[in-house]
Amino acid sequence: MKTAVCLVVKNEDTEIVYWIAWYKALGFDSFIIYDDFSDDATDISRTAAAAKMIPCRL
């Protein structure tokens, strides 16, 4: 069974990678991430690639 988790982020450049790692460790295999117009270095695409998230809906 596939399980997904949804995340809405705003200015979470330093925290998002840890959040994803935690939920991957819990067994979630799909992530739905929405960026709420961040004005820091938050880059969802870069984060998804770094975390090797498949599948990921941005």
| Secondary structure class of 55 (helix, strand, coil) | coil
Distance of alpha carbon 50 from alpha carbon 32, whole angstroms: 16
Tell whether the model's pLDDT for residue 49 goes beyond 70.
Answer: no
> Which tokens belong to 21?
């790692």
Instruction: State how many domains the chain has.
Output: 1
Tell whether the model's pLDDT for residue 54 goes beyond 60.
Answer: no
Please write the tens of the pLDDT for every residue from 17-31. 888 889 989 999 888
12: nearest Cα among 20, 2, 4: 20
Question: 8: Cβ–Cβ under 8 A, 6 or more apart, which residues?
Answer: 33, 34, 36
What is the span of the domain harbouring residue 28?
Answer: 4-57
